[in-house]
């Protein structure tokens, strides 16, 4: 395992810390400014609100189509629920590299402001829509502008400090995303359950069914104000002449790391669909317990990401960690078809949640190390491929599960096992920070 510069020695995680080595005057100046302004906390808030918006929409979308857009057929509601979700993901895939590259040229703050403003307006516009074409347009715009927040927040967080602090910040950003996704359904469920006191035709903004979108838009607007006030306009890394950045770049090519991201998210997306089908058709679980399993997966990911941020491993290379994480995912995928009750599925979900909880921030961190000055472009590509992998995994699992459920699980597990073995064999090329 490679070591980072001495400036990271003994550094503790402070979400508001956007500083570099402690012994450099210019970096102390930056640290003082960003500490007082809570710059990194603002990035956490921006990431949280975007994923909150995604999690808020998922459970309420069928009800919105039924009550606000007046769709009566169950098949019609199911079709457009899937397509509207797919439009969002497709926009995220298409626009993330563009926004990331733009942030390298124009600055992170400007792109974050555009992204949050557009996301807020798109969410508000969706709550106001009364026909299907406008609904598709609003969801596409929401995905396009969310694509400006996710990779650019990571690129902004990578601008200051050394490898240890960067790894911890990426873990915190992943935790904020997981927490937002987990909180979204609870928020929408609570708001949509408010009793309707007016006839539907007289309701403002579609009534409680549309309120989750309005509240999310308001939160995004509030975060926009905080970003405008607290995120520096020029977040370029500042090191004095002759001083090297206190970190070692990953020797893996960016393309290899992006491929690992695609495979990790493909496995996660396929597992999510497989879990829904397996738990209902083979194990016979009710919707409450199926939802509980998804909550367990998110909570395990959140706990792993928080532990990573507060106690990063010091004796394992990133190759060991990536290989081990893919191995956990493979075992979890392979264990699911053999689970005969809730607790068997619980163990499989926990293993996959732990593996993906390590992989998501660690791969983003490695891509950041390998990308040099093109942080936004590289992280934008990673966000796009993550979206593509998850969508492809979900779609593929849904199609293949009908024909051969067990074969689908085994095929996915073998792919993940091979990826784990590849990471273990190439472990010397993946650099991990050490305190």
Q: Which pLDDT score, from 0 to 100, does residue 429 have?
A: 58
Is the pLDDT at 390 greater than 90? The verdict is no
Select from 51, 72, 55, 52 the least CA-distant residue to 63: 72
What average pLDDT does range 210-228 have in this prediction? 92
With cut-offs at 50, 70 and 90, classify the pLDDT of residue 201.
Answer: very low
- Give the tens place of pLDDT for each residue, 106-118: 899 999 999 999 9
Q: Which of residues 249 and 69 earns the better pLDDT score? A: 69
Is the pLDDT at 245 greater than 50? The verdict is no
Separation CA 181–CA 23 (nearest Å) = 39
For the chain, what percent of residues have pLDDT higher than 70?
Answer: 76
Q: Which pLDDT score, from 0 to 100, does residue 198 have?
A: 42
Which of 189-193, 308-312, 320-324 is least confident?
A: 189-193
Q: Which pLDDT score, from 0 to 100, does residue 39 have?
A: 81
Q: Which pLDDT score, from 0 to 100, does residue 195 have?
A: 59
Separation CA 220–CA 121 (nearest Å) = 9
Is the pLDDT at 375 greater than 60? The verdict is yes
Separation CA 69–CA 83 (nearest Å) = 15
Which of 6-10, 245-249, 319-323, 397-401 is least confident?
A: 6-10
DSSP-derived letter for residue 410 is H
Separation CA 412–CA 271 (nearest Å) = 9
Residue extents of the structural domains in the chain: 37-230, 254-429
Structure token pair of residue 428: 């010397």
What average pLDDT does range 207-222 have in this prediction? 87
Separation CA 75–CA 78 (nearest Å) = 5
Q: Which pLDDT score, from 0 to 100, does residue 86 have?
A: 82
Separation CA 171–CA 167 (nearest Å) = 6
Secondary-structure class of domain 254-429 per CATH? mainly alpha
- Spatial contact of 11 and 435, defined as CB atoms under 8 Å apart: yes
- Give the tens place of pLDDT for each residue, 282-302: 788 776 788 788 888 889 999
The DSSP line for 123-157 is: HHHHHH--SHHHHHHHHHHHHHHHTTTHHHHHHHH
Q: Which of residues 340 and 279 earns the better pLDDT score? A: 340
Average pLDDT over the chain, rounded to whole?
79
For the chain, what percent of residues have pLDDT higher than 90?
Answer: 37
Which of 143-157, 371-385, 392-406 is least confident?
A: 392-406
Q: Which pLDDT score, from 0 to 100, does residue 163 have?
A: 64
- Spatial contact of 61 and 142, defined as CB atoms under 8 Å apart: no
The DSSP line for 158-214 is: TSSS-HHHHHHHHHHHHHHHHHHHHHHHHHHHHHHTSPP-S-GGG-GGGGGGTHHHH
What average pLDDT does range 198-208 have in this prediction? 49
- Spatial contact of 52 and 178, defined as CB atoms under 8 Å apart: no
Q: What backbone torsions phi and psi does residue 312 show, to the nearest 5 degrees?
A: -65, 140
Q: Which of residues 301 and 234 earns the better pLDDT score? A: 301
Is the pLDDT at 241 greater than 50? The verdict is no
* 37-230 and 254-429 share one fold: yes
Separation CA 59–CA 189 (nearest Å) = 8
- Give the tens place of pLDDT for each residue, 5-39: 333 333 333 333 333 333 344 344 434 444 434 58
Q: Which pLDDT score, from 0 to 100, does residue 419 have?
A: 94
With cut-offs at 50, 70 and 90, classify the pLDDT of residue 320.
Answer: confident
Q: Which pLDDT score, from 0 to 100, does residue 161 have?
A: 59
Q: In the Cβ-directed half-sphere of 183, how many Cα atoms lie within 13 Å?
A: 15
Is the pLDDT at 203 greater than 50? The verdict is no
Count other Cβ atoms within 10 Å, centred on residue 36: 10
Separation CA 288–CA 295 (nearest Å) = 10
Q: Which pLDDT score, from 0 to 100, does residue 59 have?
A: 74
What is the torsional sign of CA 215, 218, 222, 224? positive
- Give the tens place of pLDDT for each residue, 405-429: 788 889 999 999 999 999 888 765 5
With cut-offs at 50, 70 and 90, classify the pLDDT of residue 251.
Answer: low
Is the pLDDT at 354 greater than 90? The verdict is yes
DSSP-derived letter for residue 283 is I
Q: What are the respective helix, strand and coil percentages of the chain, to the nearest 5? A: 80, 0, 20
**CATH classification code of 37-230:** 1.20.1250.20
Q: What angle do CA 325, 301, 297 make, to 5 degrees?
A: 100
- Give the tens place of pLDDT for each residue, 149-186: 999 999 998 876 566 688 888 989 999 999 998 888 88
- Spatial contact of 318 and 430, defined as CB atoms under 8 Å apart: yes
Measure Cα distances from 152 to 163, 312, 409 in Å. Answer: 18, 23, 35
Q: What's the farthest any 2 CA atoms get from each other in the chain?
A: 70
Is the pLDDT at 430 greater than 60? The verdict is no
pTM: 0.80
Q: Which segment, 19-28, 78-87, 308-317, 348-357, is predicted with the most confidence on average?
A: 348-357
Separation CA 135–CA 434 (nearest Å) = 48
């Amino acid at each position: 395992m490679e070591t980072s510069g001495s400036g990271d020695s003994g550094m503790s995680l402070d979400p508001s810390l956007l500083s570099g080595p402690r012994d450099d005057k210019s970096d102390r100046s930056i640290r003082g400014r960003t500490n007082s302004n809570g710059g990194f906390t603002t990035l956490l808030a921006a990431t949280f609100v975007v994923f909150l918006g995604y999690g808020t929409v998922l459970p309420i979308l069928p009800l919105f189509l039924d009550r606000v857009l007046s769709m009566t057929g169950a098949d019609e509601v199911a079709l457009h629920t899937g397509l509207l979700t797919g439009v969002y993901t497709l926009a995220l895939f298409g626009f993330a590299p563009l926004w990331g590259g733009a942030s390298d040229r124009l600055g992170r703050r400007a792109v974050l402001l555009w992204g949050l403003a557009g996301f807020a307006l798109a969410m508000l516009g969706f709550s106001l829509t009364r026909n299907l074409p406008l609904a598709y347009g609003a969801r596409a715009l929401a995905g396009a502008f969310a694509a400006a927040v996710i990779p650019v927040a990571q690129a902004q967080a990578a601008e200051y400090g050394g490898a240890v602090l960067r790894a911890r910040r990426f873990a915190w950003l992943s935790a904020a995303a997981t927490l937002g996704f987990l909180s979204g359904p609870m928020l929408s469920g609570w708001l949509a359950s408010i009793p309707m006191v007016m006839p539907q035709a007289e309701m403002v903004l579609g009534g409680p069914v549309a309120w989750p979108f309005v509240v999310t838009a308001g939160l995004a607007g509030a975060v926009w104000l905080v970003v405008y006030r607290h995120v520096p306009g020029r977040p370029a890394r500042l090191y004095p002449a002759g001083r090297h950045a206190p970190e070692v770049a990953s020797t893996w090519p960016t393309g290899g790391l992006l491929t690992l991201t695609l495979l990790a998210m493909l496995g996660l997306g396929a597992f999510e669909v497989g879990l829904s089908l397996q738990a209902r058709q083979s194990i016979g679980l009710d919707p409450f317990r199926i939802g509980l399993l998804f909550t367990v997966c998110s909570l395990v990911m959140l706990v792993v990401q928080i532990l990573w941020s507060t106690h990063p491993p010091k004796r394992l290379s990133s190759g060991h960690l990536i290989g081990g994480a893919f191995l956990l995912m493979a075992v979890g995928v392979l264990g699911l078809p053999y689970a005969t009750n809730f607790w068997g599925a619980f163990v499989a979900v926990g293993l996959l949640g732990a593996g993906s909880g390590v992989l998501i921030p660690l791969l983003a961190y490695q891509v950041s190390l390998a990308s040099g000055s093109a942080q936004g472009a590289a992280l934008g590509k990673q966000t796009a491929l993550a979206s593509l992998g998850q969508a492809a995994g979900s779609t593929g699992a849904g199609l293949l599960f009908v024909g051969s459920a067990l074969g689908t699980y085994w095929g996915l597990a073998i792919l993940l096992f091979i990826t784990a073995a590849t990471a273990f064999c190439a472990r010397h090329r993946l650099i991990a920070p050490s305190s």
